[in-house]
Amino acid sequence: MQIHVVQQGDTLYGIANMYGTPINELVDANELDAPNNLVVGQSLVIPIVGQFYFVQPGDRLYSIAQKFGMSTQQLAQINQFPINNPLPIGYRLYIPEQPKQQITANAYIEPYGDNVSDTLVNAARKTAPYLTYIAPFSYRVNRDGTLTPPPLDNFRQIANENNTARMLAVSNLEEGEFSTELGHIIVTVQAVQNTLLDNIVNVANEQGYRDVHFDIEFLPPDDREAYNNFLRKAKQRLSEEGLFLSTALAPKTSAEQEGALYEAHDYAAHGEIADFVVLMTYEWGYSYGPPLAVSPIDEVRKVVNFALSVMPANKIMLGQNLYGYDWTLPYEEGGDPAEAISPQQAIKRARMNHVAIQYDDEAQAPFYTYYDEQGNKHEVWFEDARSIQAKFDMIKELGLRGISYWKLGLAFPQNWLLLQDRFNVEKLEE
């Protein structure tokens, strides 16, 4: 699988010819709705086995071979290129498919209202083959320890058809928001805990869940150790039932980080207790904040580095957004929220407004600005094949357990093709 960034003058025919790939395969892989009107800066995935590398100034066979984990002799032989000849700038070298790391992949799916929309059902069906887990979000804890499930439609059937396990996500959501008061009850009241764990075990066994995932947010800072103790209690009970336990962790860069979202999340304790954790490494750019990359890789890496200082890499799932935002400028604190959009919608808006897509090398994220019909300026940050590849490279480099997506429902076809191409995604044995 190759990533190609559209340049001025590129056509789909020319790109297909460059890589020796049928045009229809390019259209299908990228779900192109306007294949004859590409956007400058748009990233495409090219469905080929292995990839091509085009020689850049300063490249040598040795440095290119090192980059892809090959010997100079292998690279020269595969491309039938004399090993001592200078490399012409722009010369195309073929790089064979590289060994794949096995990872765990999860995706949350969040139905609204009383029914699951066709969009979410279709998203679950399309992505389940690429996932270890799918996590309906969420089972809400009531104040007496009982559970209120989300709409589940036929997620169980879809998961079973694709050998995809399901994650029982449990939250302290109450009336649409994370409740500090409810969280405090969950982690401090023994009777509520006993009822809750009984209900979790019953639901997990009846419905066939494999992992129980606690996403308890905005706890009082003083409840840090109470949350740890609750997790120890839950771990013992769930292990007796053959169930895994995982947690969602706010994106911290130090143990002393202040703030209602962070203080009660003890990375070291969760790393010790849980089978694995999901780092919520997204929402630097968020709907009510100023325009920013949603998951800038420099900030994500700081969180991962802190996590690695207190827990093993094979317990860490990197959180990743499947969406971007469109902000109307000027940004005003407390003003209207930015609009959540899919990567596909972001490309379409760039095309309709005749603007090129730019790329921030520090954040490793695409962005652009445009003016709407009313003359309002907009700024858009989203994800593309390059930004996702940067996260995949980090997972490989640091040996992380895998990736966890928030959330299904907004189209991003390039992600799933790259995920399949770069990794072997674990499927749990029954």
CA-CA distances (angstroms) from residue 195 to 175, 226, 230, 382, 424? 21, 17, 13, 42, 39
One-character DSSP codes across 246-273: EEEE---SSTT--STTTTT--HHHHHHH
pTM here is 0.94
Amino acid identity, position 352: M
Q: What is the DSSP string of 352-369?
A: HTT-PPEEETTTTEEEEE
Q: How far is CA 26 from CA 16, 54, 75, 412, 422, in A?
A: 7, 19, 27, 15, 18
pLDDT at 113: 79
CB neighbours of residue 291 within 10 Å: 18
- In degrees, rounded to 5, the angle at the alpha carbon of residue 230 between the alpha carbons of residues 225 and 234 is 150
Tell me if 221 sits within 8 A of 263, measured CB to CB. Answer: yes
Give Cα 26 distance to the centre of its chain.
23
Q: Is-catalytic flag, 217?
A: yes
Distance, in Å, from the CA atom of 206 to the CA atom of 241, rounded to the nearest integer, reads: 12
Rg value, the chain, Cα: 23
As a whole number of angstroms, the distance between CA 344 and CA 35 comes to 13
* Catalytic pick among 25, 110, 177, 217: 217
- The answer for 270, left when phi > 0, alpha when psi is -120 to 50, beta otherwise, is alpha
Token pair 């195309």: residue? 92
Query: Considering Cα of 419, then 383, then 336, then 374, what sign does the dihedral take?
Result: negative
Torsion angle, CA of 293/296/299/304, rounded to 10 degrees?
Answer: 130
d(CA 164, CA 208): 11
Which structural domains are found in the chain, ordered by start? 2-95 (3.10.350.10), 106-322+401-409+416-421 (3.20.20.80)
Ranges under pLDDT 70 in the chain:
430
Question: What is the predicted pLDDT for the residue at 1?
Answer: 87
